[in-house]
Amino acid sequence: MRITVTLAGVVLALAVSAVTGLRSAEAAVALIYHRFDDDRYPSTNLSLATFRRQLEWLVENRFEVWPASRLVAILEAGAEIPDHVAVITIDDGYRSLLGAVTLLEEFQFPFSVFVSTGGIDQRVPDLLDWETLRQLCGRGAEILNHGVDHESLLARPGEANEARRQRILEQLSKAQERIDNELPGACRKKIFSWPYGEFDGLAEETLAGAGYPAFGQQSGPIARWNSHQALPRFPVNQAFADSALMITKLESLPFPDVLERSDPVVTENPPSLRLRLFPEIDRVRCFVGSGAPLSRQVTEENHLFKASAPLARGRDRYNCTYPARDGRRYHWLSQFWYVP
């Protein structure tokens, strides 16, 4: 299925009921890829043929493609983000990304690669080496920080807060030191990607204190009001990359700044997501990551959304959407949860 053909189906399906929505063009969509043409890992793999169709769709629909550093600079300056901006990020630096690089060069699209330096220094066969990463710097890439060991930066059992802060800072600084020593300044920036997309309030505060913005793996467009240490990205794999859902994500718009933030590490299961009242609140629909709808409790100050059953141990999320006023696009919000 060609992604450009799918778009027509999405427009037809969504245009049947134009609704009034609170639309904002101040958003970019960041995409996260891992492996290409590597069928050993279907949950993180994408075929190069599908990747080409996605790049063609971005051109045909007049998207600007920015490196992550340009988007971060706009956010930190408090400037407006134009509509139809995409950021292509690739985590881990697997060798399979070289085929994707050839396509990105063809389309003249910049891209951002997050690498864990420990695996490179250990010469893990599946990872790119420093020399190849240096070559990518001349092919449209910027190389960014994914820690030393690709370890989760959530709390270990019995780990004190100060010990964890130190562990986070060591993962951050040691990886950045290796990147700075190995790569030219023009292609390296102080931007982080959370291993496994896992973070909490303490981790965010630690990165903010060190002056690092960071990307997660929770889905959703990026707006000015997002935490700069928890920027969302849409994960892409073959399962939905040629589907109507992919178009919905690429065309998604942000919620207004109405989320009452909660720490992602769950202490009360199932957790609650709270949205402050805004004009389109009654149109919001929320779902757990598996697709089951969330219940809604209405108060004078907010709407509270909650799963009907406890979440399983590990990573999960709540996704919320509501239709934009053009009847075609959707506003999208995702909350990452981690159940210890």
User: 10 pLDDT exceeds 70?
Assistant: no
**What is the value of pTM for the model shown?**
0.91
Percent of the chain whose predicted confidence (pLDDT) is above 70: 93
pLDDT, averaged across the chain: 92
pLDDT, position 199 = 98
Residue with structure tokens 């999320």? 317
Instruction: At 255, list the tokens.
Output: 């919620």
User: 234 pLDDT exceeds 90?
Assistant: yes
For residues 120-147, give the mean pLDDT: 97
Q: Which residues pair with 103 in a beta bridge?
A: none
Instruction: At 288, list the tokens.
Output: 């757990």
For residue range 49-72, list pLDDT tens digits in order: 999 999 999 999 999 999 999 999
User: 93 pLDDT exceeds 60?
Assistant: yes
Instruction: At 271, list the tokens.
Output: 């957790």
Domains of the chain, by residue range, sit at 3-254, 259-339
Residue pair 88/31 in contact by the 8 Å Cβ criterion: yes
The CATH superfamily of 3-254 is Glycoside hydrolase/deacetylase (3.20.20.370)
Residue pair 311/270 in contact by the 8 Å Cβ criterion: yes
CATH code linked to domain 259-339: 2.60.40.1220
Residue 136 pLDDT class (50, 70, 90 cuts): very high
Residue pair 233/72 in contact by the 8 Å Cβ criterion: no
pLDDT, position 252 = 97
Instruction: At 132, list the tokens.
Output: 């190849």
User: 20 pLDDT exceeds 80?
Assistant: no
pLDDT, position 9 = 33
Tally the C-alpha atoms within 13 A of residue 331's C-alpha that lie toward its C-beta.
25
Residue 322 pLDDT class (50, 70, 90 cuts): very high
